Structure 1
Amino acid sequence: MKILVFLVLPIWVFSSPLFSSPLDVPQPPVANPVLSTDKDHFFKDSTDLIAHSPEVPEVQVVHHQDLNKKILIALVVASSLLGGILLLLSCFSIYRLKRLKKCSTKSDRNSDAAKGISLGPILDKFPSLKLGNNRGSVDAFEYQLLVVATNNFEEENVLGEGESGRLYKAHFNEHFHAAVKKIFANGQEADREFENEIQSLSKIHHQNIVSLLGYCRHGEAQFLIYEMMENGSLEFHLHGPFGKSELTWPVRMKIALDVARGLEYLHEHCDPPVIHRDIKSSNILLDSNFNAKMSNFGLAVTGGGSNQMNIKLSGTLGYVAPEYLLDGKLTDKSDVYSFGVVLLELLLGQRPVERVDEARCQSIVTWATPQLIDRSKLPNIIDPAIRNTMDLKHLYQVAAIAVLCVQPEPSYRPLITDVLHSFIPLVPVELGGSLRLTDSSLSTRSELAS
């Protein structure tokens, strides 16, 4: 910068009025021996010299005053310009230093991601992980971060898999873990659902609705990054490869209560109300304490209780309400029907649609409804993993709720608020309900064995 100042200053000084315009230099006295009147072409004869000589002292005084003024003006102008240059160079230097520091920081972060080492700075982008208050926006992730966090989407990191995608455990560092959903489908319809999921979950925040932390596009591949749900999906625990489910009766009731709370928030507390339109066991995720949270809002629509027509039929076979399937009528009662099917899965341990033979499938609703209302048959169709482990009266109540939820006529189905209040007394206090277990309340379990 000093070199630049020394280069610029002489240019501006010599370009000032002092050096750019000719100065009126006073004429030398006549007696000067260097000048000869014979040879000077400015004077024709001696009379001209004599006429001008008396005025020489007066002209010299005037020219010296002009010279002092010009020198002063030149100094002021040069000082002002020099100060401006110095200020401009100082600002430019500060800007360059900040820019270099920012580029250096970004380079360090990319280097950490590529090496798979600690990604501590990423926590600063997600205040929701610390405070639980992320509102109104989600972040775009770089694909390379997802590759490193999932160990190149290794099979050992799979949490679960549904029709729409596969869920992976992602470990960004010791403080930041998440669940990455790799979406299978592509095309315009998949793009719309992807965008709808991001827009919906950026506005919806509830303890029983999964939090969306970010998204990623890589070529045609699409990824959604959720909060970590260590125990995967409900479908995996009910119908997974391990055969007998380890979900106990109290935990299953807690899961049903959590889903009912999430649905009540969508139907009663969102403005406008939200219809999920794809409630199913694979879209119910479980955290480390088996708290249930609804996910996959790609098909969600707003509208609430009023009938909605001309909405493209979407959903999963076995969970779709009959009025929506046959007539295209969509209401919040359509979600209630899907919830009833999930409740049947929790009770019976069977899939919504089971293949009877090569040419025929059977709906769990059609097969189970007659037996659910028959108290003599009900205990025999319960999932063997939980048979003889619950209060018989509680079993009858849950079965009655399930039958009401899957009624073919929407007006016969209860509101999700009513379902929620019916479940609270059936869930132990330590799991979020109001039931206090005593020895006497367990005595009726023996009736199930007879």
Structure 2
Amino acid sequence: MGEGLLIITIRDVRAICTAPAGTNLVVVKVETDEPELYGLGCATFTYRHLAVSCVVEEYLKPLLVGRGVADIEDLWHLMNCNAYWRNGPIGNNAISGVDMALWDIKGKLAKMPVYSLLGGKARQAVMAYVHVYGETLPEIVDNILQGLAEGIRCFRIHWGNTSKLYESAGKLAGVYFDPDFYMRQTLELFSYVRDKVGYEVKLCHDVHERLAPIEAIRFAKELEPFRLFFLEDALSPEQSEWYGVMRQQTTTPIAIGELFNNPKEWTQLITSRSIDFIRAHPSQLGGVTPTRKLAILAEQFGVRTAWHGPEDISPVGHAANIHLDLASHNFGIQEWRGIDAAVAEVFPGSPTLRDGCLQLNEQPGWGVDIDERHAKKFPCTHSTTLWTQKRILDGTLIYP
């Protein structure tokens, strides 16, 4: 098999953009000179899909066509250094699409799921957490109870994030946010939910980086009685040095990483044991090749993985997450927002959730395909992103 793999070359590289459920998805298809042999990779940067598509087709394709598919490590570094400036989200997502597609091809040639190529299974099941919202506290509890009945054991819970007592100071566009009200409301949420469902249920929460450092530390301490599975993104990456201070001040488990792009952003946090979970977005890092290395680094320092798994990841990306989860000894949990039926129709073989755990179809490679004709029926949109325009009540923009 090794000699055959060496002579198989890349014939074409294409970015496929589609939005079956209204969320822009980007998938890269790497075709080879072997008939019917191709791979798929997730390159979704939903708010800059055109930029990623351009990098894939105008820059990476000319670089890669005619090269062999075997040496993924070398090709990854070739793509990473080719533009000289590197480690940004647009370039990394483009590289990810190719990287994951090459792993898909390698798995198909080996007639094995990708996790087998990564060392095989470290576990038999991948536990997921789901998001629970509600306009009222009883509604949130009802949604948790429904999830428990379906076998889900971990929930990320939220209840509003703005104050009804104040109007914004200006008329600038954006989502207005009152940090003090948000913290009080969230503490009330956890108190109510713990009283109703007890402490056997795992609960987590995402701050989404909207607090000042001293506010985040106080908030994490106030949440201690409710024994969170983790508190996510209490601070923005720009303020990551504060996590060392937070580690010394609270026992609430800390998770961060979905905005990370390069090793300089996570190495110190991991080696200083300032965090408990690394929640990186694999395509944002450049694919499976760098994400696997991140998982191995984290394992040496007792940090568990909890890869980012929102709705703006293609089923190919979700599958890659699960393959990494199965093969990583330090797996913690996997975020799961579900896959819309319209998306699953475009991507046959999409992962599923059963009894609180994520399921693959055990086919070679990622096990996920794409119906390109069907994908064309759902063109991407080009609207301005609004939810990231968050402001506190005096009109100051804050980073989400």
Q: TM-score, normalised by structure 1?
A: 0.22
Higher Rg of the two aligned structures: 1
User: Is the strand fraction higher in 1 or 2?
Assistant: 2
Q: Which has the higher contact order (CA 8 A, sep 6+)?
A: 2
Q: Which of the two has greater helix per residue?
A: 1
